[in-house]
Amino acid sequence: MGDGQRLAGAGPRDDEQRRGTEPAVGPGLAPAGGTALGVGRLDGGARTRPRRGGFSDFDGHGRESIATTVDSSTSRRRARPPGRGAGSRRLESVSRHAQETPMPATIAFIGLGAMGAPMAANLLDAGFTVRAFNRSPGKAKPLADKGATVCASVAQAVTGADFVVSIVADDEATRQVMLGADGVVANAAPGTVIIDSSTNTPTMVREVAEAARARGIEHLDAPVSGSVPQSRNRELVFMVGGEAGTLEKAKPVLAAMGKMQVHCGGSGAGATIKLVNNMLSGSLNAALAEALSVAIAAGVDPEAAQQVLNEGAAGSRLTRNKIPKILSRDFTPQFQIGLMEKDLRYFLALAQQVDRPAPITSLVRSQFQAARRAGLGSLDVSGVYLQASGEIAQKGDAGVPAGKAG
């Protein structure tokens, strides 16, 4: 193949990149094997930089040369500056290859609980570089075995990171992780993108976003819909609040952990819809526990009840997932009672702020609160059945077979 043919074949791809028809992933930030539209690394440490009409090539000695560009309508080479020879053409080839294989983005991941650990593992599997921190260091070992760098502090984890993903328990933990002296905002570099997947109040989210903005750090609240199975299988749905441009930068990271990202509005919108979602989930779990308790007490065959309820008007992924756990008394946590009770409390505070009554949520929260106070807080939300049915009162404990309480 001649030199002119080679260049003609390369031109449309260069034009597509300049038009932005390929996914934008930020300046040189992509998982290994991805495509970036910005800075790419050349052999010997030189870089390519975008310029009008093409890319500038640096030959490794600080000398700039104008890359050959192609008129895609005529497939003719444009004039190159005097003195360009085979060496320059080889450098152009290396430059184009570097643009297609940028350095992988570095992600600081904070919080390796039941949800966070598989999310971080999926980022590693996607080719990202992961720097992990967890308050209990032992939980980080499986990630270290997969190639993550385990850090001793939040400040160490965010050093050199392009993105920070955090998923911790509540507002209090988020305040410490994000706004503490050793936290993300004080130690991340300007331009870093924070993706906070914790379930927080919108008020907390906006406080962190404002502090981040003051230091030139971008922030998204991106809590998730889904539990442990969805986290493992990259089936999470991210409910995102923040700037649309920041979400565009974060999409490759989110796509490595979930199946969908929904932009819900400005800062705090993701947190708001997450609380609404969990209010519905908590209410359905409480209603299911009450319904099954009555059905079984009335002598209905449990397996028949399961079949009818799953196929009836109220049948859903929730009933198909939670009824088997209730009938087998397997309350290994996918989402804990204690966390659900916290989210219902946050929802009630939000309803009060916007002056809306929430009597159903008040009743549901009371049921989960009673279960938590009875010592069931670490069980799966389906374990609220033990409170609704009175089993815990009858047995004096959770009534859970050994090894089933997680």
Beta 163-166 vs 149-150: how paired, if at all? Answer: unpaired
CB 353 within 8 A of CB 316: no
The single residue of 139, 141, 259, 274 carrying the catalytic annotation is 274
The C-alpha atoms of residue 330 and residue 317 are separated, in whole angstroms, by: 17
**How far is CA 376 from each of CA 8, 349, 396, rounded to the nearest angstrom?**
68, 23, 12
Query: DSSP state, 30?
Result: B
Beta 47-51 vs 54-58: how paired, if at all? Answer: antiparallel
3-state SS class at 386: helix
3-state SS class at 104: strand
Q: Which residues contact 13 (CB under 8 A, 6 or more apart)?
A: none
Query: DSSP state, 340?
Result: H
Residue 404 annotated in active site: no
**Considering only CA atoms, which of 132, 324, 122, 382 is closest in space to residue 235?**
122
**Polymer length in residues for the chain:** 406
The C-alpha atoms of residue 253 and residue 255 are separated, in whole angstroms, by: 5
Query: Catalytic residues, which ones?
Result: 274
